[in-house]
Structure 1
Amino acid sequence: MPSTATLLTVAAMIIGGYGVLVAGMYLAQRSLLYLPSGQPMTPREAGVPEMRGVLLTTADGLSLTAWHRPPVGDGVTLVYFHGNGGHIGYRGHRVRPFLDAGFGVLLVSYRGYGGNPGRPTEDGLYADGRAALAFLEARGFPPGRLVLFGESLGGGVAVRLAWEQARAGSPVAAVVLEAPLSSVADVGAYHYPILPVRLLLKDRFDIVPLVGEIAAPLFVAHGEADLVVPIRFGRKVFDAASEPKEAFWVDGGGHENLPAFGLHARVLRFLDRHLAAGAPRTGV
């Protein structure tokens, strides 16, 4: 039988190793959360040649490249906040159906992504989103003529901005969330159950306390087979939201393949039903 001293030594080694693991995860957490990758692309290379590059100026002085096309006629603009990986060049096919339907589209690229300056943080992405809305408002597209679309982590940005606009008395026209996180804490605890994730996080993107106060129609889509952000977190967001709201729970859908299950058609029908008469989808 091992001696008490041996047992204490082993316990100290286990505790020490765990402490090193926790410290390492704390220091590396943003490199795990934000995954910009790939070479920057042009709109033409991404399959959206009608879009043009524009600059968004943030409150902290960054100039970020984004892609924009105005709506057809007097229509509505969809502001697309992508997820934590890649860059806007990988989202051309995701906004194509909205461009074809006559929507204006602003593809927002975050700091540190796609060749943009800066490093991504939660507050930084919110600032980037605010710069996107300011860009549009300066060109005659107020919040009431905007649909905010959040893909995965981008849902945290979309909901935060929609909540801010509602508090300011200028709610957006609608919000669409594809495979949203209820919070980084929830998803992190799912992926790393042995770590005290909720105590370590710097960036949280906690949607649930805000989504019930966005004062806009909400559409939530999530795949039943999503292993990155399990569907229970999307349901948590939906349950916390106020009416009007609509869910699209996709049997067999994963984290990134919901367009293959008819996502865009469902979103377009939702927007046709809910966009106010004063904010028509298109000008035709």
Structure 2
Amino acid sequence: MLYFLGILLAGYLVLVGALYAFQRNLLYHPDPTVATPQSFGVPEMTAERLPTSDGFPLLAWWRPPSTPDAPVLLYLHGNAGHLGDRADKVRPYLDAGFGVLLVTYRYNAGTGGAASEEGLLEDGRTALAYLRAQGISDDRIVLYGESLGTGIVSRLATAGRYRAVVLEAPYSSIVDVAASIYWYVPVRYLLKDRYETTAVIRDINAPLLIVHGKQDQVIPVHFAERLFDAAVEPKRLILVDEAHHTNLYDYGMGKMVLDFLSEQAISRQ
């Protein structure tokens, strides 16, 4: 019996060690595609390379705002796919005359970097620096995060006063999500990249919109509800009954965001 238990324990320790060693492979999914705006139906955008402070030229798509006072959306996407996968999502904002900066991460598009929480946070800072170099003030910038990007956006939003923050399918923390999946492993002690969004959400000094699908099996809706409860006003939570993790735009999320931003603009007057 003791021999059998020893084998089980050894196997468990090997499993825990493997999960620890390869955790970033499970969290991040690099995509080498160097997508062009013309190939994905947004020819009004141009491809740029934004150099980070540590030497990685991030691929970004940029379209300036149509008027000097129009909002500018900074879009940070989820952990997989490429910029072309988000072209349909930014279409409502382009059509509304917004400026849009859609940027990918250092581990995508042949950039040559490795994924980490601090690295992706620096990618977000690089994107913000680019907008400021274009003469865009923080009070015109809408910080938009999708899935993994919501943790980055939430951190960035605590360091300024932005027009608004939009979180699509967010999480309370990557630790919470990982613990719900790998409940048999002490992930709270093992994770390197934690994205503790709940810990910073109360420090956001901007109108906050959270949109989440009730059928989301990747990030269950109760994590978004937990995050919303921790946030301060003004805030709004929209739960879409039929939506899953990646199809919120099929249920009108673009209009939800535009309506929210319009209401917030009126309330500022």
Specify if TM > 0.5.
Answer: yes
> SS of the counterpart of 1:56?
strand
For 1:35, the equivalent position in structure 2 comes to 29
Distance 1:162 1:276, change over 3 A: farther
Identity between Structure 1 and Structure 2 (%) = 48
- Aligned counterparts of 2:76 and 2:50: Cα–Cα separation in 1: 14
Aligned mate of 2:154, from 151, 159, 166 = 159
For 1:168, the equivalent position in structure 2 comes to none
Q: Which amino acid aligns with 2:48?
A: V
1:39, distance to aligned residue in structure 2 (A): 2.5
TM-score calculated relative to the size of structure 2: 0.97
Deviations 1:43-94, CA, capped at 9 Å, x for gaps: 1112111110112121212211111000111111000000001121211011
- Aligned counterparts of 1:31 and 1:276: Cα–Cα separation in 2: 44
- Aligned counterparts of 1:156 and 1:52: Cα–Cα separation in 2: 26
Aligned mate of 1:246, from 236, 243, 267 = 236
Aligned mate of 2:112, from 117, 124, 129 = 117
- Is 2:16 aligned against 1:22? yes
1:96, distance to aligned residue in structure 2 (A): 0.5
Aligned mate of 1:222, from 200, 203, 212 = 212
- Aligned counterparts of 1:65 and 1:39: Cα–Cα separation in 2: 10
For 1:4, the equivalent position in structure 2 comes to none
Query: Which of the pair has the greater relative contact order for Cα pairs under 8 Å at 6+ separation?
Result: 1
Contact 2:32/2:110 (8 A) holds in 1: no
Structure number with bigger Rg? 1
- Aligned counterparts of 2:9 and 2:186: Cα–Cα separation in 1: 14
TM-score calculated relative to the size of structure 1: 0.92
Contact 1:88/1:114 (8 A) holds in 2: no
Aligned mate of 2:41, from 44, 47, 53 = 47
Deviations 1:7-43, CA, capped at 9 Å, x for gaps: 1111110010000000000011001100123632111
- Aligned counterparts of 2:141 and 2:240: Cα–Cα separation in 1: 26
Q: Which runs of 5+ in 2 are unaligned?
A: none
- Aligned counterparts of 1:200 and 1:275: Cα–Cα separation in 2: 43
> Number of residues paired by the alignment?
268
1:64-213 counterparts in 2 under 5 A?
64-74=58-68, 75-165=70-160, 171-213=161-203
Q: Which amino acid aligns with 1:241?
A: A
- Aligned counterparts of 1:270 and 1:277: Cα–Cα separation in 2: 11
Contact 2:34/2:109 (8 A) holds in 1: yes
Structure 1 residue runs of 4+, over 6 Å off?
Answer: 276-279
> SS of the counterpart of 1:235?
helix
> SS of the counterpart of 1:246?
strand
Contact 1:64/1:117 (8 A) holds in 2: no
1:191, distance to aligned residue in structure 2 (A): 1.1
1:209, distance to aligned residue in structure 2 (A): 1.1
Contact 2:107/2:115 (8 A) holds in 1: yes
> SS of the counterpart of 2:166?
strand
> SS of the counterpart of 1:44?
helix
Distance 1:220 1:125, change over 3 A: same
Aligned mate of 2:246, from 252, 256, 267 = 256
Q: Which amino acid aligns with 1:22?
A: V
Q: Which amino acid aligns with 1:63?
A: P
- Is 2:51 aligned against 1:61? no
Deviations 1:220-244, CA, capped at 9 Å, x for gaps: 0011110000000000111111000
Contact 2:124/2:152 (8 A) holds in 1: yes
Q: Which amino acid aligns with 1:87?
A: H
- Aligned counterparts of 2:137 and 2:174: Cα–Cα separation in 1: 30
